[in-house]
A and B are shown apart, each in its own frame.
Chain A
Amino acid sequence: MAAPSKATVVLKAVKKITLRFCPFESNAQSTREFLCMVGSEKVRATNMNCEVISMVKHDKSEPVVDITYVDGERLVMKGANLSSREMLSSFQSRCIAKDPQAKAAAKK
Chain B
Amino acid sequence: MAATLCLRLLPQQGWLPLTQSVRHGSKAVTRHRKPVHILRQKLMAVTKYIPPTRLVPPGAYPSQTSRVQEESPFALILKKALQKLFQECRMLAVVQNSASNAEDMMMLKYRLHKHGIRVKFFPNKVVRSFLNDSVYSNMAPLFSGPTVMFVSEEPRVKEMLKTLRSSPQMTLLGACIDDTLLSVDGLVSYSKLPSVSVAQGQLVSGLTMLTSHTASLLQRHPAYLSALLQQHVKQLSPDAAGPAAAAEEEAT
Contacts and interface: CB of A to CB of B under 8 A. Distances in A.
Interface of A: 23-26, 29, 32-33, 35-36, 38-41, 43-44, 52, 54, 56-58
B191 interface: no
Contacts of B173: 23, 56
B116 interface: no
B79 to A, nearest CB: 23
Contacts of A35: 96, 98, 171
A38 B171 CA distance: 14
Contact of A23 (B98, B101, B141, B186): B141
Given A32-B144, A36-B146, A23 B99 contact: no
Contact of A41 (B99, B145, B183): B99
Interface of B: 96, 98-101, 138, 141-142, 144-146, 168-169, 171-174, 183-186
Contacts of B171: 35, 54, 56
15 contacts: A24-B138, A24-B141, A24-B183, A33-B145, A35-B98, A36-B96, A36-B146, A38-B98, A40-B99, A41-B99, A41-B100, A52-B98, A56-B171, A56-B184, A58-B174
Given A23-B142, A24-B174, A58 B99 contact: no
A75 to B, nearest CB: 19
B186 A26 contact: no
A13 to B, nearest CB: 20
A56 B164 CA distance: 14
B102 to A, nearest CB: 11
A44 B138 contact: no
A53 to B, nearest CB: 8
Q: Quick one: which of A24, A40, A52 has the most chain B CB within 10 A?
A: A24
B58 to A, nearest CB: 24
A36 B185 contact: no
A40 B99 CA distance: 5
A84 B120 CA distance: 27
A51 to B, nearest CB: 8
Nearest to B183: A58
B101 A41 contact: yes
Nearest to B173: A23
Nearest to A29: B144
A82 B103 CA distance: 34
Contacts of A57: 183-185
A25 B169 contact: no
Contacts of B96: 23, 32, 35-36
Contacts of B172: 56
A26 B141 contact: yes
A23 B183 CA distance: 9
Contact of B184 (A25, A52, A58): A58
B125 to A, nearest CB: 15
Nearest to B96: A32
Contacts of A36: 96, 98-99, 145-146
Contacts of A44: 99
